[in-house]
Amino acid sequence: MGIGRQNWAATWTATGDAYCRLADLNINKRVFDMATEAWLCALTAFEVARRLVADDDREGADVSAKVEAGVQRFGLALGHKVESVQITCCDQIEFSAHYLPAGTPNLCAPAVICVSSEEEKGATLLGRLLPVVIRRAMSVLVVSHEDVAHHSRAESKILLSHCLDHLSARPDVDSNRIGVYGDGLSAALATDFAAYDNRIAAAVCDAGIWNWTRTLGSIGWITSTADDSDKDVVSACRSRLARQLSCPMLVVAGGRGVVSVSEAIKLQADCMTLGIDLDLAMPQIIQGAPGGQVDNFVTSDDSIFTWLEKKLTRAAAP
């Protein structure tokens, strides 16, 4: 990691630590709203630092540990209880997930199953999302990628269905308004799950592009000189999995995601022709950041959950 990038990471980590101290001071003064703001600022600062040290395992692990500790302290100190729940599945498979309820216990709110990227734990993703979801009337159940992906494709879909079962059984969740969000490679898991379980009301996923791209690489007869009939076949193949989803989809293209902008635009055009509800989101890139480009994850996460909120609100309509 370059010296400039390392210095910036240290600066953002120190900023996060300072906000943690400020939160503790405000808690002691019983100024809880200000303490909440400080905690959320700390978590955002740690996420920036974590991205800057992504190529350094030791420092990345240290920052991730600060995020995990911050999530727990945030809940304990300010009453935003982050529950650790156990998801028990077939064949005695059991794993932990983090649940953040929305509003009051009497509020029957929408919920989103969030699956972390392949590079991070569920607690790390929750730390990043807390500033985005804390004031929305929406619950989140955050699952680690490794707990789902380290099984067969069929088992992964069943595991996520058990997560949906858990949410559906909760009195504070509206079982008709449950969505799924897959970050990074988990976007492909979210697609498979939404196609498998039609109870999902909205999906932030890859709409099949990841599997499509891998398949395309093994099809020798599809070339840049393909005639119009071949292009029709390509279009049909590209949208095949998307057609299996009965819910609205949001595909995040570019940035750190697994979906290329060009393929996402082609898929959206195919879906528009077929009348499939598919939207695109493209993360803003911060140019001139130390060590290269950095995704503006704050605006990206906000746009994703604004979309989810809109679609899950519509799902409540009779």
Structural domains of the chain, with CATH: 1-80 (no CATH), 83-314 (3.40.50.1820)
Distance, CA of 21 to CA of 26 (rounded, Å): 9
Please give the DSSP secondary-structure letter assigned to residue 42: H
Is 315 in contact with 177 (CB distance < 8 Å)? yes
Could you write out the three-class secondary structure of 233-289?
Answer: HHHHHHCCCHHHCCCCEEEECCCCCCCCHHHHHHHHHHHHHHCCCEEEECCCEECCC
Taking the C-alpha atoms of residue 87 and residue 253, their distance in angstroms, rounded to an integer, is 30
pLDDT at position 6, please? Answer: 79
* H or E element in which residue 175 lies: strand 173-182
In 3-state terms, what secondary structure has residue 56? coil
Residue in the structure block whose two tokens are 């791209």: 213
Tokens representing 294 are 């950095």
What is the block-wise mean pLDDT of the chain (318 residues), using blocks of 10 residues? 74 93 90 87 90 69 83 66 84 86 78 93 92 90 94 90 96 95 94 96 92 63 49 71 92 82 89 92 67 74 95 76
Contact 276, 134 (CB under 8 A): no
Phi, psi of 178 (to 5 degrees): -115, 125
pLDDT at 147: 93
The reported pLDDT for the residue numbered 281 is: 92
Residue 112 to residue 147: CA distance in whole angstroms: 17
Q: What was the pLDDT predicted at 233?
A: 66
